[in-house]
């Protein structure tokens, strides 16, 4: 079921942005600081008040879907996720099952394993490093097995190895039909791992399409104001500043 933004405006942040997101694909939202990326992602989860437009899941406006049902179908990971209590990692991840009102230990265990956290399951979250906490927060979202996984800079706190592990897991999620939407600052990761890229600039949609199109050298120069060149083959390209 598609997730779609229709002419959404959030004063000072987004201006008439429309986009359609397909299930079973990875979409990267890219753009300079302040372009509206996080606001758009929040709007897709019905967490940003819109001044105009609407967000649809299938043919139904998100505002018409009961909160519990929205929480079951859309998993959201904010950029600055907070952990209020010093619980065990397993308990934190199990909170992802709250919309379903079940414990589902098998699904919690699967989420822990996916983020390489099984060995940390009984440790207090206060003992984790920043990157480990980031993985635990994402595991909490994965435990809910949402139809749509929306994550704001989920790779930012991770080392290279865990970035690649997470990207492989997200690819597997997409292969099972999950719609994955990521805010990414790393344009090379977006180029090499996304199926579709949206580029925002000053709250407007600047480009949308296959990574090679949306992240062309001309668009990078126009939106980011830098001269850059792609090198390497498809799937392993690197961006060189000129």
What pLDDT digit, counting tens, does each position of 98-120 carry? 999 998 999 999 999 988 999 99
User: What residues does each domain of the chain span?
Assistant: 3-241
Residue with tokens 């139904």: 60
Q: For the chain, report the end-to-end CA distance as a whole number of angstroms.
A: 42
Per-residue confidence band for 189, with pLDDT thresholds at 50, 70 and 90: very high
Distance, CA of 212 to chain centre: 20
pLDDT at position 238, please? 96
**Position with higher pLDDT, 159 vs 196:** 196
Per-residue confidence band for 27, with pLDDT thresholds at 50, 70 and 90: very high
Q: Identify whether the C-beta of residue 183 lies closer than 8 Å to the C-beta of residue 79.
A: yes
CATH code reported for the domain at 3-241? 3.40.50.300
User: What percentage of residues in the chain have a pLDDT greater than 90?
Assistant: 86
Residue 33: partners with Cβ closer than 8 Å, 6 or more residues away: none
pLDDT at position 206, please? 98
Q: Identify whether the C-beta of residue 53 lies closer than 8 Å to the C-beta of residue 8.
A: yes
Residue 25 DSSP one-character state: S
């Amino acid at each position: 079921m598609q997730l779609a933004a229709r002419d959404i405006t959030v004063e000072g942040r987004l201006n008439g942005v429309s986009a359609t997101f397909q299930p079973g694909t990875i979409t990267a939202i890219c753009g300079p600081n302040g372009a509206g990326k996080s606001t758009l992602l929040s709007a897709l989860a019905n967490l940003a008040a819109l001044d105009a437009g609407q967000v649809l899941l299938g043919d139904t406006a998100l505002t018409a879907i009961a909160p519990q049902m929205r929480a079951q179908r859309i998993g959201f990971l904010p950029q600055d996720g907070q952990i209020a209590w010093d619980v065990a990692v397993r308990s934190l991840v199990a909170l992802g099952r709250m919309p379903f009102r079940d414990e589902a230990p098998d699904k919690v265990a699967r989420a822990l394993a996916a983020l390489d956290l099984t060995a940390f399951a009984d440790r207090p979250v206060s003992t984790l490093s920043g990157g480990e906490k980031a993985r635990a927060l994402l595991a909490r979202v994965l435990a809910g097995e949402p139809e749509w996984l929306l994550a704001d800079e989920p790779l930012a706190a991770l080392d290279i190895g865990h970035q690649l592990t997470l990207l492989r897991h997200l690819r597997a999620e997409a292969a099972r039909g999950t719609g994955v939407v990521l805010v990414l600052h790393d344009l090379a990761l977006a180029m090499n791992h996304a199926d579709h890229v949206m580029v925002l600039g000053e709250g407007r949609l600047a480009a949308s399409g296959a990574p090679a199109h949306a992240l062309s050298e001309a668009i990078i120069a126009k939106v980011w104001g830098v001269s850059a060149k792609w090198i390497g083959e498809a799937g392993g390209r690197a961006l060189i500043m000129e």
